[in-house]
Amino acid sequence: MGGVKYCLPLLLLSLLIAECASRPLYTLPSLAKAGTKKPLQTSRPFNVAHRGANGEFPEETAPSYMGN
pLDDT digit string, tens, across residues 15-33: 988 888 777 777 666 666 6
Instruction: Tell which wins on pLDDT, 48 or 55.
Output: 55
Average pLDDT over residues 43-52: 67
Q: What is the DSSP letter of 60?
A: T
The per-residue pLDDT of the chain, averaged, comes to 73
Q: What is the DSSP letter of 23?
A: P
Return the sign of the alpha-carbon dihedral for residues 34, 37, 40, 42: positive
Contacts of 58 (CB under 8 A, 6+ apart): 64
pLDDT attached to residue 14: 92
Parse the chain into domains and list their residue ranges: 38-68
CA end-to-end span of the chain:
79
pLDDT attached to residue 11: 92
